A and B are shown apart, each in its own frame.
Chain A
């Protein structure tokens, strides 16, 4: 007797859980020969709202962890991803990659996570400064996590696009809500499973699948989002996003598809706020300035 295939249900990832979209909508994803690969959740604005609530809740805990600990967790994501390499390669291939490209994309994603894991406790030192001031104050600037970041990740790259958009954001202590590629969403859901099994607290990364044309305005207008990273090239959407983002003066950063592979500490810095502190110089020794 032939065995029935057990097909995976691709769901979204909110607050460490895998719910279906509250709207009950889905879109069929087809392969090269028009065969049905999966029914994928068509997320609604309410899913986005719920995801933002989860991200906001998770923010205090994630941003107050030590950089070192965040680094350990990012490294753990890399380990888990490495362990499920074959699954990702298979998924990339049914979404149209060649075996070689697929294998490269997964290795590159793992390496990128390790790269950012290393930066977790180092970017602060790189971007902090002690500033000369003309009064008896000790004046220094340090980067701080911005808050909740909404991300519309690359349309073309199923896994690497997702990883490269998420990693620098969470490295910096932010939490995020990510819209995955509409035409290649399979890896995003599997990557959520990787996150779920790698000590990342629920709500730090939330992944939605669906249409940017429907959701981008909510990503841009929601008052509880502090920054938006846009990794696509639709000019109309970019204009729209920039307008909507004015409501609460969100920071908007746009990236082209070619940015995908390279890691950079400056991508961490994008989603940081620089906080400057004035501290009066204290008398430490008798009759001597302390600093």
Chain B
């Protein structure tokens, strides 16, 4: 098969644009090509004068994963002992990395407004608490969230592309994405077509992610794999590679709608994929485990894993997020416990 070599140009926003979304609007996509047959090299534009070109690998040759090795490595992370002062710092960092989430059929503007208040005022009795990183809502709730978070640095993330199943046409998914962005979403959490992926239709998934990335415009794109449906760690590694090459800014484990959601082994496989991608391309990709992380202790274990796999550069909410709703209160309870020495009860913390 003969292949035409054409270049696809993607923009990767400089890290400063994260805290100042205004900058991102100045960037635009100069040209874009979508055709699996003709695509085999990629150009990333870090800024107008920095370009990197690299080949898209054959995803069927993604490294295979040693499951036993991964589990043993995870078990070792969990033995790390984190003492008082660094524990408090870790807990605050966790709070700052949370995407406070409500994704239910019964969501209303009122519920979203309440959650946004919580996002900004986690527990006012404790001084020096950070805000969470973002709130995560359905597209029709974006406007309400945006309005409620005015004058704060908390971002609004919106799920899109027929979340959570992803069972819809490309056209609908793109409309969904554009709608969320137009409503003001700073970040888009898309789901991949798991059925197509499991069939082995990698080009379909690649093009889907690339098309959604284009529709996102200035918004950062998180790609949800729903790892609970992908069954093997090999599949998870392969989809991680594929999504990052297709333009994901973040890769995310799960929708939170099925069990198992985020687990440490799955997250470790994805973190290692991010590390390898960084070594190959020089581009940093974010990681977001979501669903099932509800205790401060497991939050700290994830931070240990992050630190020991990707290093200090990733230890900020620009590159790592927790998708969670009940995690925040558990972390707050631990922080109050550290301060007062008394174990806390959920009764004394605002509902999330």
Footprint of B on A, CB under 8 Å?
A: 49, 52, 218, 221-224, 247-248
**In the complex the two chains form, is A224's CB within 8 Å of B342's CB?**
no
CB distance from A226 to the nearest CB of B (A): 9
Number of A-B contacts (CB under 8 A): 23
- A192–B345 Cα distance when bound, in Å, is 26
CB distance from B300 to the nearest CB of A (A): 15
Interfacial chain B residues near A49, Cβ < 8 Å = 343
Task: Specify the main secondary structure of chain B where it touches its partner.
Answer: loop
CB distance from A163 to the nearest CB of B (A): 27
- A247–B348 Cα distance when bound, in Å, is 12
Q: Which residue of B has the minimal Cβ distance to A45? A: B343
Interfacial chain A residues near B343, Cβ < 8 Å = 49, 52, 218, 221-224
Let me know if B347 is at the binding interface, CB within 8 A. yes
7 closest A-B pairs by CB = A224-B345, A223-B345, A222-B343, A221-B342, A223-B344, A49-B343, A223-B342
Taken residue by residue from 333 to 347, chain B's Cβ proximity to chain A (1 for < 8 Å, 0 otherwise) reads as: 000000000111111
Taken residue by residue from 311 to 352, chain B's Cβ proximity to chain A (1 for < 8 Å, 0 otherwise) reads as: 000000000000000000000000000000011111110000
Interfacial chain B residues near A52, Cβ < 8 Å = 343
Interfacial chain A residues near B345, Cβ < 8 Å = 222-224, 248
> How many residues on chain B are close to A (CB under 8 Å)?
7
CB distance from B167 to the nearest CB of A (A): 34
CB distance from B327 to the nearest CB of A (A): 15
- A223–B346 Cα distance when bound, in Å, is 9
Interfacial chain B residues near A247, Cβ < 8 Å = 342
Taken residue by residue from 159 to 199, chain B's Cβ proximity to chain A (1 for < 8 Å, 0 otherwise) reads as: 00000000000000000000000000000000000000000
- A108–B343 Cα distance when bound, in Å, is 37
* Most chain B Cβ neighbours within 10 Å, of A49, A223, A247: A223
Could you pull out 23 A-B pairs where Cβ atoms are within 8 angstroms? A49-B343, A52-B343, A218-B343, A221-B342, A221-B343, A222-B342, A222-B343, A222-B345, A223-B342, A223-B343, A223-B344, A223-B345, A223-B347, A223-B348, A224-B343, A224-B344, A224-B345, A224-B346, A224-B347, A247-B342, A248-B345, A248-B347, A248-B348
Interfacial chain B residues near A248, Cβ < 8 Å = 345, 347-348
CB distance from A214 to the nearest CB of B (A): 15
Interfacial chain B residues near A224, Cβ < 8 Å = 343-347
Q: Which residue of B has the minimal Cβ distance to A247? A: B342
- A224–B347 Cα distance when bound, in Å, is 8
Q: Which residue of B has the minimal Cβ distance to A225? A: B345
Interfacial chain A residues near B347, Cβ < 8 Å = 223-224, 248
- A224–B336 Cα distance when bound, in Å, is 13
CB distance from A59 to the nearest CB of B (A): 12
CB distance from B82 to the nearest CB of A (A): 15
* Most chain B Cβ neighbours within 10 Å, of A222, A224, A247: A224
CB distance from A17 to the nearest CB of B (A): 17
Task: List 10 extra interface pairs beyond A221-B342, A223-B345, CB under 8 A.
Answer: A49-B343, A221-B343, A222-B343, A222-B345, A223-B344, A223-B347, A223-B348, A224-B344, A224-B347, A247-B342
B residues 224-239 with Cβ under 8 Å of A? none
CB distance from B81 to the nearest CB of A (A): 13
CB distance from B20 to the nearest CB of A (A): 41
- A223–B345 Cα distance when bound, in Å, is 5
- A248–B91 Cα distance when bound, in Å, is 25
- A205–B346 Cα distance when bound, in Å, is 21
- A151–B252 Cα distance when bound, in Å, is 45
Q: Which residue of A has the minimal Cβ distance to B343? A: A222
- A52–B345 Cα distance when bound, in Å, is 10
Interfacial chain A residues near B342, Cβ < 8 Å = 221-223, 247
Q: Which residue of A has the minimal Cβ distance to B344? A: A223
- A221–B344 Cα distance when bound, in Å, is 9
- A222–B347 Cα distance when bound, in Å, is 12
CB distance from B349 to the nearest CB of A (A): 10
